[in-house]
A = this chain, B = another copy of it.
Amino acid sequence: MIEIEIKARASHQRLKKMLSDMGATFFAVENHSDTYYNAPHRDFAQTDEALRIRSVNGHSVLTYKGQKLDTISKTREEFETEVDGENTRQILLALGFVASGNVSKKREIFKHNDITIVLDTVEGLGEFMEVEIVTESDNDAAKEKLFAFLEELGIKQEDTIRTSYLEMILKKQ
């Protein structure tokens, strides 16, 4: 699966009004507590990969994200599976992986046609939005569609961010 995703810093109050006006539907609210792991055999900060156990509304999900596939979006390969969070943490530690940081956030999710819009309130960082299309393969049409959609919401391509929340938090510390 390829996750075509663009992120920007954005005030939620204004966005919620605009999303409602354009007919986007509210889908769910999730509380994420994410722990990121680094590998014993390569440094994910260098390779631009991510391995994460997310605890969300009582469930745990293990996610691997590959390196970004272009220079304008956060498009990357992604695999995930629901897991037993504590046992998966034990497996990763036994294999030599180390916890590298935590990200806690509230995520409000909206849908508009095939676009998913998430409004993240990240502990210690503030308000962000991400727009996302999930496809079978990397494709430019989807990216153009997302940038056009952001334009409608008043967000320009140069205002978007490719830095992860984890990187921002580690930088702040």
Q: Besides A41-B96, A79-B90, A79-B94, 20 other CB < 8 A contacts?
A: A39-B41, A39-B95, A40-B41, A42-B96, A49-B94, A51-B91, A51-B95, A62-B91, A64-B91, A64-B94, A66-B94, A79-B87, A80-B84, A80-B87, A80-B91, A81-B83, A81-B84, A81-B88, A81-B91, A83-B83
For residue A2, give the distance in angstroms from its CB to the closest CB of chain B: 13
26 contacting pairs across A/B (C-beta < 8 A): A39-B41, A39-B95, A39-B96, A40-B41, A41-B41, A41-B96, A49-B94, A51-B91, A51-B95, A62-B83, A62-B88, A62-B91, A64-B91, A64-B94, A64-B95, A77-B94, A79-B87, A79-B90, A79-B94, A80-B87, A80-B91, A81-B83, A81-B84, A81-B88, A81-B91, A82-B83
Q: Which of A64, A81, A82 has the most CB of B within 10 A?
A: A81
Tell me whether B91 and A79 are in contact (CB under 8 A): yes
